[in-house]
Amino acid sequence: MCWSATADLVAGAGVAAVGVACVARVRSVRDLPLAALPLLLGAHQLVESAVWDAGGGGGPATVVWAVIALPLLPLWVSVGVLCAAPPEARQRLTVPLAIGVVTAVILAYAVAVGPVTAEIRGHTVGYVLDLSHPALLVAGYLLATVGSLLLAGDRRLVALGIVVAVGALVCWALWRLEFISTWCAFAAVCSVILLGWVRARPAAPAPRRRPQGVSRDAS
């Protein structure tokens, strides 16, 4: 989320461009879901520019924004981290993945039954959705996203998890005060960190070729 339609449009295009660079540099198919995350974040901001232009409300742009932000992101991040993690970390990552699946299902149901509405509040947009047990859902959301990054077993992803935790807290506080929305800048920082992670990733090992035997005719 940004502080205006123009800011969301510019930031969304920039973050999406970083996402294209991430995907283009992927060396292993296992890294692809996480490398494509900036593309999703960029698309999310572009959708919100349409929410600004519509003056909020409960139109299609608001619903698409909610689908990406609520059920899709915790599932995408937890799956992406599990795919990219080293083998020794994958067993423990099934826990945040399971939490992410449950959280995503509950949030998807809430979005489906709706309604979802957006309100322009100065330099921020507030989204309203009726949720039961919101504190538990927020905890599940954070465990699926931040938790999976912190348990990834990759120092760059752990660093990203720390940045996400601190940045989310700061952005939430500024949004809560209805001062200004800075989520777009936060998404840009995370996307650049992911680009560095993709560039530092080793190439996938080439499949071993079985030696071909030499047949000889019996003399």
Average pLDDT over residues 120-136: 87
126 DSSP β-pair partners: 119
pLDDT band at 188 (very low <50, low <70, confident <90, very high): confident
Of 123 and 110, which is predicted with more confidence?
110
Domain containing residue 110: 5-200
Q: Are 65 and 119 in contact (CB under 8 A)?
A: no
Average pLDDT (118-135) is 87
Rounded to two decimals, the pTM is 0.87
Examine the pLDDT at 122 and tell me if it is beyond 90.
Answer: no
CATH for 62: 1.20.1070
Residue 212 lies in a domain: no
Q: pLDDT confidence of 174, banded at 50, 70, 90?
A: low
Mean pLDDT over 117-127 rounds to: 87
Which residue shows structure tokens 């330099």? Answer: 123
Residue 19 lies in a domain: yes
Asked if the structure places residue 219 within a domain, the reply is no
Asked if the structure places residue 206 within a domain, the reply is no
pLDDT value at 166 more than 60: yes
- What is the rounded distance in angstroms from the CA atom of residue 157 to the CA atom of residue 77? 11
Contact 116, 63 (CB under 8 A): yes
- Domain total of the chain: 1
Measured CA to CA, the distance from residue 142 to residue 136 in angstroms comes to: 10
- What average pLDDT does the chain have? 88
- The reported pLDDT for the residue numbered 208 is 60
Q: Which two tokens stand for residue 36?
A: 């494509």
- Is residue 210 assigned to a domain? no
